Structure 1
Amino acid sequence: MTTNTTLSIRRFDASDTDAVIALWQAVFPEYHDVTRPQRNPRLSIANKLATQPELFFLALLDGRIVGTVMGGYDGHRGWLYSLAVDASLRRHGIGTRLVAHVESELTRRGCPKLNLQVLSSATPEVRAFYDALGYRADAVISLGKRLGEYADAAPAG
């Protein structure tokens, strides 16, 4: 990023769908894994638009979508999902700003704790990023169960 560029954060709009999917497919290799049908970016977007769409944010650099993040809050704790930053623009504070934006929005809603999950295959850089932002491993085990048409999907991620 140069000093002449302008980064802004705004809510997702349905017209952003194709650009967001392109970013996610570049950032998240699991979106190409046919053994994970639950990793369908169109379904993820549709589900988010049906549940707290006001917590789906985009980072734009001079009008181009370069990052995404989703938040959620169930009244007990918040969740951070789908943090993605264009690989060519990492280490410029975009991810940090997106996380801070979700933290601020959830704090305004009275959320006392924010959780996130990273795949066990995540790179050390991903863990280091979250560590630098103050996120620590909780003394819990994450359990999951696939439901409906996804019940027979591979158990990973």
Structure 2
Amino acid sequence: MTGVASLSIRVFDAADTDAVIALWLEAFPEYKDASRPQRNPYLSIANKLATQPELFFVAVKDGAIVGTVMAGYDGHRGWLYSLAVEAAARRLGIGTLLVRHAEAALTARGCPKVNLQVLSAKADVQAFYESLGYVADAVISLGKRLGAVA
């Protein structure tokens, strides 16, 4: 994987917040949608730090954060969230390394299966995950917003 020799993956630290927010705003235009207050990157970070913060990883290259992934495990299934790689660092294998790192952390917890969701409009993201062995399950994902800002 060319270009990742100086890359390291480590657990998120609060000092990483500004760099992670900047990366997410670039990678996830959905965060800029003011009509969707539940898509608040600061809230996403705060919630992750309250629940399994050791499963929030950043990729660092030459001292800069170039990627993120969050993982979670409920004792039944694992989940991946917020996989993002800086635009200038894409197609270097960083996303793959982040996914594999998160998978290893979940495996170490005894996780038998990992789930994730991809927005239906993001065919390129689906293709990326399929290249890593993920397949579409024959399920329908349902959701329900809870609370005032859900």
The TM-score with structure 2 as length reference comes to: 0.96
Unpaired runs of at least 5, structure 1 = 152-157
Deviations 1:121-150 (A, max 9, x none): 21x221110010000000100000111113
The answer to whether the aligner puts 1:50 opposite 2:50 as a matched pair is: yes
- Seen in structure 2, the aligned counterparts of structure 1 residues 20 and 120 have a Cα distance that, compared at 3 Å, is same
Q: Is the 8 A contact 2:3 2:92 kept in 1?
A: no
SS in 1 for 2:59: strand
- Seen in structure 2, the aligned counterparts of structure 1 residues 150 and 110 have a Cα distance that, compared at 3 Å, is same
Q: Which runs of 4+ in 1 moved over 2 A?
A: 1-5
Measure the CA separation in 1 of the matches of 2:130 and 2:56: 23
The answer to whether the aligner puts 1:38 opposite 2:34 as a matched pair is: no
Amino acid at match of 2:140: I
Amino acid at match of 1:87: A
Measure the CA separation in 1 of the matches of 2:93 and 2:107: 21
Aligned match of 2:68: 68
SS in 2 for 1:149: coil
Aligned match of 2:21: 21
Q: Is the 8 A contact 2:4 2:92 kept in 1?
A: no
Deviations 1:79-111 (A, max 9, x none): 000000001111100000000000000001000
Q: Compute the displacement of 1:36 (Å).
A: 1.1
SS in 1 for 2:98: helix
Q: Compute the displacement of 1:23 (Å).
A: 0.3
Deviations 1:56-91 (A, max 9, x none): 000000110000000000000000000000011111
Instruction: Give the aligned CA root-mean-square deviation in angstroms.
Output: 1.5
Q: Is the 8 A contact 2:4 2:94 kept in 1?
A: no
Residue range with higher mean Cα deviation, 4-13 or 74-83: 4-13
**1:1-157 matched pairs, under 5 angstroms:** 6-122=6-122, 124-151=123-150
- How many residues end up aligned between the 2 structures? 150
Measure the CA separation in 2 of the matches of 1:3 and 1:131: 23
Unpaired runs of at least 5, structure 2 = none
- Seen in structure 2, the aligned counterparts of structure 1 residues 110 and 4 have a Cα distance that, compared at 3 Å, is closer
- Seen in structure 2, the aligned counterparts of structure 1 residues 121 and 3 have a Cα distance that, compared at 3 Å, is closer
Q: Is the 8 A contact 1:5 1:62 kept in 2?
A: no
Q: Percent of counterpart pairs with the same letter?
A: 74
- Seen in structure 2, the aligned counterparts of structure 1 residues 3 and 105 have a Cα distance that, compared at 3 Å, is closer
Measure the CA separation in 2 of the matches of 1:21 and 1:111: 28
SS in 2 for 1:22: helix
Amino acid at match of 2:138: A
